[in-house]
């Protein structure tokens, strides 16, 4: 049973396109996150949602918009993709509080 | 506010020990340790909350020195499976409880050779 799943695993697209990455967790957690890991392996939090409400919104371009239709899903939509958006995007989930975060397998986004 | 990890990389022979440090210029509420193998997602190791707290997981343990604003991860009698990049994630200035807002260090790449 996959705890945190993401689709697609790989995404190759042209500059200027709009794309979405989907994330689902079946752990019953109330909090979900999006992280970006760049080519230098720097792992940076982008957003966090608790019970479908945004609780963390780090400084990211407003071309990035998270959407949480329910507690188990947190999707990431990216408009007008740029070369610098190329990275691995990880979704994670946890129970809010001092708890471990479970990461999804990642989505490798390549913008050409 | 990104924590500083040291060393950046370390190469060990099987059975050797290693220490990875994570330090912050600001007071820390908690320190989280994760390991990421090449091409995989980060995997949780442990969380340390109180100053002076120590935790262990088999041959991997950690300590948190609140005064020094530093945490150390200890790997003893390393195994091949320990290879990967170790990240510390820190939370600071939390009011009303943790929100999971982790700021990760740049990672320490550990390679264990036979």
pLDDT digits (tens, 9 = 90+) for B40-61: 999 999 998 866 666 666 789 9
| Å between A105 CA and nearest CA of chain B | 5
CB contact under 8 A, B42 and A103: yes
Q: Mean pLDDT for chain A?
A: 93
- Show Cβ contacts of residue B107 under 8 Å, excluding neighbours closer than 6 positions: A41, A42, A43, B5, B8, B36, B85, B86, B87
Distance CA B20, CA B36 (A): 14
Count other C-beta atoms under 10 Å from residue B81's C-beta.
9
User: What would the pLDDT profile of A51-95 be if each residue is shown by its tens digit?
Assistant: 888 877 778 899 999 999 999 999 999 999 999 999 999 999 998
Q: Choose the closest CB to B98 out of A90, A98, A104.
A: A98
How many beta-carbon contacts under 8 Å exist across A and B? 59
Contacts of A31 in chain B (CB under 8 A): 100
Question: What pLDDT is attached to residue B52?
Answer: 61
Nearest CA among A74, A86, A60, A79 for reference residue A6: A74
Distance CA B40, CA B78 (A): 20
- Which residues face B71 on adjacent strands? B22, B64
- Tokens in use for A99? 């708890």
Any idea what the Cα angle at residue A30 is, between residues A24 and A35, rounded to 5°?
55
CB contact under 8 A, A101 and B100: yes
Q: Choose the closest CB to A33 out of B43, B85, B100.
A: B100
Strands B9-13 and B108-113: parallel
CB A102 within 8 A of CB A6: no
- Can you count the helices (H) and strands (E) in chain A? 0, 11
């Amino acid at each position: 049973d996959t705890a945190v799943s993401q689709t697609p695993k790989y995404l190759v697209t042209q500059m200027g396109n709009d794309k979405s990455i989907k994330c689902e967790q079946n752990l019953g957690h109330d909090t979900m996150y999006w992280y970006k890991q760049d080519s230098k392996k720097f792992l940076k939090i982008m957003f966090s949602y608790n019970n479908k409400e945004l609780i963390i919104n780090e400084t990211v371009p407003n071309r990035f918009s998270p959407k949480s239709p329910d507690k188990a899903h947190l999707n990431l939509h990216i408009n007008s993709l740029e070369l610098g958006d190329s990275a691995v995007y990880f979704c994670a989930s946890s129970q809010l509080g001092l708890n471990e975060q479970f990461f999804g397998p990642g989505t490798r986004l390549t913008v050409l | 506010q990104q924590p500083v990890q040291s060393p950046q990389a370390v190469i060990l022979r099987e059975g050797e020990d290693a220490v990875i440090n994570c330090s912050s210029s600001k007071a820390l509420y908690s320190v989280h340790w994760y390991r990421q193998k090449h091409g995989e997602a980060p995997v949780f190791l442990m969380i340390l909350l109180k100053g002076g707290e120590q935790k262990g997981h088999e041959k991997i343990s950690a300590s948190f020195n609140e005064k020094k604003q530093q945490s150390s991860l200890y790997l003893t009698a390393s195994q091949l499976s320990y290879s990967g990049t170790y990240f510390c994630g820190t939370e600071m200035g939390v009011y009303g409880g943790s929100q999971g807002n982790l700021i990760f260090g740049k990672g320490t790449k550990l390679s264990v050779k036979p």
